[in-house]
Amino acid sequence: MGLSIYSQVYHQSERSNLPSDLDCIIVTAPMECDPLSLLPALNRSFPRAQKHIATSCKGFFNQDHVYLDQSIGVFGFHDPLGSYGSAAGGFELESDVDHLVQQLLTTASLRAERSGELPSLVWMSATPGFEEQVINSIQSFYRAKVMICGGSAADNMIEAQWWIADQYNSFSQGVVLTTMYSSAQVFTRLSSGYFLTEHSGIVTSCDQRLIKEIDHQPAGLVYQRWNRQRLPELSPGDVILEESTYSPLATLRGSLGSLSYFQVIHPRELREDLSISTFAHVDLNQMIYQLRGDEESVIGGRGVSLRERLLRQKSPYTTYEECSLFFALDASSPSRIV
């Protein structure tokens, strides 16, 4: 990497005018980055900040640029009147997740010095496979409506090289949670950058994150037929995450007024039996839709200014000073920040 990790973090934070007295930072790190080196570097550069760290797939982007390879992204919160707490932990069995989430939320609220209070928002990052269970555990813990943002840790080739961390420890299988008690009003806007196509069908055979059949036909054949003009020919056994990036599937999750919103479901692998493994659960007899996008709609389209997004929502908060926490979120992986 040339410069030490500390030097990279320090020089980049100086160039970006990030203050050293941030209250919380959300960090995206490359899978090659050694957490034993990164954590001390972040703690030296941002000594006051609670830290929420997760690996990414090949890079990250903001409103100006796409950063690839071994770039480290830092999203900082400076909120002297607010409180923030982060906590990470690991688990070995699925049955451990609920208890771990309870422990982490308790620890995070103690670190924020707001024990027993309902946070404005919980930010989560989980290693793949347990995201739905983590979300359900968070909701069960508070027994009240709380906003949840975040997503999955990732690696470049789906080889379980991902990891998550707080300011103290890292884990190859686990979850990191940050409780945010903001001094500003917090609200979210879902924006995936994808568009519905004319293709849809019913899931007629599935097993959690495995779609076996759509309309009683092998899911892989249906998916390839829907995307014949956009994708190269896919072979059984192929990992197809990269090829399907701009052609994901989706399920209807609900509506906000007259506007329907969807959960984006990215295909992971075309299996030998022509089923498709995915990064989210699907249900039997659920309608599934084909989405479509391109680099401009998915990445470039998110460069719309914060003020424009707020005005479009008819929000009374239209400046950075009035609204310190505004998230434009991907419907399937909301850790991508505009």
Alpha helix ranges (H) inside the chain: 5-15, 35-45, 97-111, 131-142, 219-226, 295-298, 306-312
Could you tell me whether strands 50-55 and 164-165 are parallel, antiparallel, or unpaired per DSSP bridges? antiparallel
**Beta partners for residue 181, in sequence order:** 83
Worst-scoring range by mean pLDDT, 51-65, 130-144, 295-309? 295-309
- Looking at residue 75, what is its pLDDT? 86
Query: Residue 31's CB: how many other CB atoms inside 10 A?
Result: 19
Worst-scoring range by mean pLDDT, 75-89, 142-156, 158-172, 193-207? 142-156
Does this model's pTM top 0.85? My answer is: no
Contact present, 53 and 42 (Cβ < 8 Å): yes
What is the pLDDT confidence band of residue 327, given thresholds at 50, 70 and 90?
A: very low
The tokens describing 183, both together, are: 């001094």
Separation CA 148–CA 179 (nearest Å):
10
- Looking at residue 333, what is its pLDDT? 35
Question: Model confidence over 116-136: pLDDT tens digits?
Answer: 999 999 999 999 988 889 999
**pLDDT(161) > 60:** yes
**pLDDT(297) > 60:** yes
Mean pLDDT for all residues in the chain: 81
Mean pLDDT of the 300-304 span? 51
Question: Model confidence over 215-243: pLDDT tens digits?
Answer: 999 999 999 999 988 887 888 998 888 88
Show me where the domains of the chain are located: 5-190+302-329, 195-292
Question: Model confidence over 27-58: pLDDT tens digits?
Answer: 988 888 889 888 998 998 899 999 999 998 87
Torsion angle of alpha carbons 187, 261, 241, 275, nearest 10°? 140
Nearest by Cα to 239 from 206, 208, 279: 279
Q: How many residues does the chain have?
A: 338
- pLDDT over 90, % of the chain: 42
Contact present, 95 and 109 (Cβ < 8 Å): no
Contact present, 301 and 313 (Cβ < 8 Å): no
Could you tell me whether strands 276-278 and 210-214 are parallel, antiparallel, or unpaired per DSSP bridges? antiparallel
What is the pLDDT confidence band of residue 2, given thresholds at 50, 70 and 90?
A: very low
